[in-house]
A = this chain, B = another copy of it.
Amino acid sequence: MAKEGTSRSLGTSEVTVVDAGDCRDPFQWDLREDCEVRQILDRIADKWSLLVIALLEDRMMRFNELRREVDGISQRMLTVTLRHLERDGLVCRTVYAEVPPRVEYCLSPLGKTLLGTIQSLVDWTEEHQSEIAGARAEFDARQGAARVPASG
């Protein structure tokens, strides 16, 4: 993965460390892009990460097994996603020196705690789903009306 390799900065070292004394305000954190929060958020908001985490909740799974379940994902992206998750210590990768090769992935304890956290996010979403849908519809209606006033 040459492209990904380019962005060594992903989490390597340039990250600006802020002293805790500065973090008393509830939302001071996200004023900086480099903040950890952004890193994590990017991961869970990743196109596939969430899927994989969710799938791994119940059981440990093999590479192609995950591939089949997620289905839409390409081999490359599954690898990338898994690597990211592994790097963050969210999933564990176990390689069995067998023939044929077998690699199993499972959620780490840390990953499991994240599971609960994202669930609260999901709860919020499901709870306000219709409100948002309504707001969107209304907004689109207004936009449509504003943009096509003389159509009729």
Contacts and interface: CB of A to CB of B under 8 A. Distances in A.
Interface in A10-41: 11-12, 20, 23, 26-27, 29-31, 33, 36-41
A114 interface: yes
Given A45-B45, A132-B89, A117 B124 contact: yes
A121 B54 contact: no
Q: Main SS of chain A's interface residues?
A: helix
Interface size class of A (residues with CB under 8 A): 35 or more
B126 A37 contact: yes
A29 B89 contact: no
B126 A117 contact: no
A104 interface: no
Given A23-B126, A36-B125, 9 more contacts: A27-B54, A31-B55, A37-B50, A40-B129, A86-B139, A87-B136, A87-B139, A117-B121, A120-B120
B88 A135 contact: yes
Interface in A118-145: 118-122, 124-126, 128-129, 131-136, 138-140
